[in-house]
């Protein structure tokens, strides 16, 4: 097991994008600043997607303009195409993320593109972004199962991961979009994946829909992965994935890693403070167990 883990905070983007409530720009900015103050070094702040499809992210440029830029913190954003990339560059974002998926039906519903079309778009964005000097991360959605098709084959996940690395993405976040993964599946996939690509280029993105997110992290830690996505308070879900609840909560992850003696650089009380400020704005209690226990 690595003695140090990097957490990518996705609450301001993956979290708030998938909440029904609209959070005012000033509160989003304060949220990002609190997360950075808590010790996060990687924060996904927004998405440069069409405001017609994702009204929650219509304020992307304003959020980027308003946040404090702490030295040592990388502020990233989702980018689906070249239009989004131009907007992200104009907003002086440090890093972008593309987000194809591993299953055909989910790709159609989420992106209105086939997997091949989404991969072609990802390649185009990667090439252009790297020529601008902006590093690229890639999510691979529905890597552990699709809400419409069921099983997704590890061979497909490995094939697409390899391609995304070839496009120039430096890290692939293997995403359990619907929270269906279990530890045996994680161990098996990482065993196969680790034989093909360096695991330092792999991150994992779990949802806690079935209560398996933390035990999946544990399995991935044992397999040698050292980067995990999490969302303060467990904010989020996925509007295109019926029944998907929030992301793995940052508080729950940090609590477990602290106990294991795995360093994250993140202060648990700082995250709880950020969650406490955002909770009244999303209109429901935040699901993080650690957060609730701290109340
Ligand atoms: Mg998510």
Whether 221 is in a domain gets the answer yes
Residue 128 Cα, ligand 1 centroid: separation in angstroms? 25
Count of Cβ atoms closer than 10 Å to residue 145 Cβ: 21
Whether 72 is in a domain gets the answer yes
Residue 240 Cα, ligand 1 centroid: separation in angstroms? 11
Nearest to 82 by CA among 119, 133, 121, 136: 121
Would you say 248 and 214 are in contact if contact means Cβ atoms under 8 Å apart?
yes
Residue 180 Cα, ligand 1 centroid: separation in angstroms? 12
Residue 120 CA to chain centroid, in angstroms?
21
Whether 43 is in a domain gets the answer yes
For 191-212, the pLDDT digits (tens) are: 999 999 999 999 999 999 999 9
pLDDT at 243: 56
In which domain, by residue range, is 105 found?
6-294
Give the count of alpha carbons within 13 A of 10, CB side only. 32
Catalytic residue among 64, 126, 146, 238: 238
Whether 57 is in a domain gets the answer yes
Spatial neighbors of 103 by CB under 8 A, at least 6 apart, are 115, 141, 142, 146, 148, 149, 152
Whether 1 is in a domain gets the answer no
Phi first, then psi, for residue 10 (nearest 5°) are: -115, 10
For 117-132, the pLDDT digits (tens) are: 999 999 999 999 999 9
**Residue 216 pLDDT class (50, 70, 90 cuts):** very high
**Residue 295 reports pLDDT greater than 60:** yes
How many separate domains does the chain show?
1
Residue 260 Cα, ligand 1 centroid: separation in angstroms? 24
| Domain containing residue 167: CATH number | 3.20.20.70
Q: Which two tokens stand for residue 38?
A: 């808590």
Would you say 88 and 77 are in contact if contact means Cβ atoms under 8 Å apart?
yes
Q: Is 64 a catalytic residue?
A: no
């Amino acid at each position: 097991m690595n003695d140090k883990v990097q957490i990518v905070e996705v609450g301001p983007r993956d979290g708030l994008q998938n909440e029904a409530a609209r959070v005012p720009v000033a509160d989003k900015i304060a949220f990002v600043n609190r997360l950075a103050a808590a010790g996060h070094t990687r924060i996904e702040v927004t998405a440069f997607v069409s405001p017609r499809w994702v009204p929650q992210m219509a304020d992307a440029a304003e959020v980027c303009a308003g946040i404090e830029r702490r030295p040592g913190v990388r502020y990233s954003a989702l980018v689906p195409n070249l239009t989004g990339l131009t907007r992200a560059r104009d907003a002086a974002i440090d890093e972008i993320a593309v987000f194809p998926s591993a299953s055909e039906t989910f790709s159609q519903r989420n992106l209105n593109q086939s997997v091949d079309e989404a991969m072609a778009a990802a390649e185009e964005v990667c090439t252009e972004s790297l020529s601008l000097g902006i590093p690229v991360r890639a999510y691979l959605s529905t890597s552990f199962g699709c809400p419409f098709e069921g099983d997704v084959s590890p061979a497909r996940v490995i094939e697409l991961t390899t391609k995304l690395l070839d496009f120039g993405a430096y890290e692939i976040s293997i995403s359990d979009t619907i929270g269906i993964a279990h530890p045996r599946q994680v161990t098996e996939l990482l065993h196969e994946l680790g034989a093909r690509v360096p695991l330092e280029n792999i991150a994992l993105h779990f949802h806690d829909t079935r209560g398996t997110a933390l035990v999946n992290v544990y399995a991935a830690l044992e397999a040698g992965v050292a980067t995990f996505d999490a969302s303060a308070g467990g904010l989020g879900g996925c509007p295109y994935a019926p029944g998907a609840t929030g992301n793995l909560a940052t508080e729950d992850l940090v609590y477990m890693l602290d106990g294991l003696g795995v360093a994250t650089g993140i202060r648990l009380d700082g995250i709880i403070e950020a969650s406490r400020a955002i909770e009244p704005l999303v209109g429901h209690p935040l699901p993080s167990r650690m957060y609730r226990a701290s109340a």
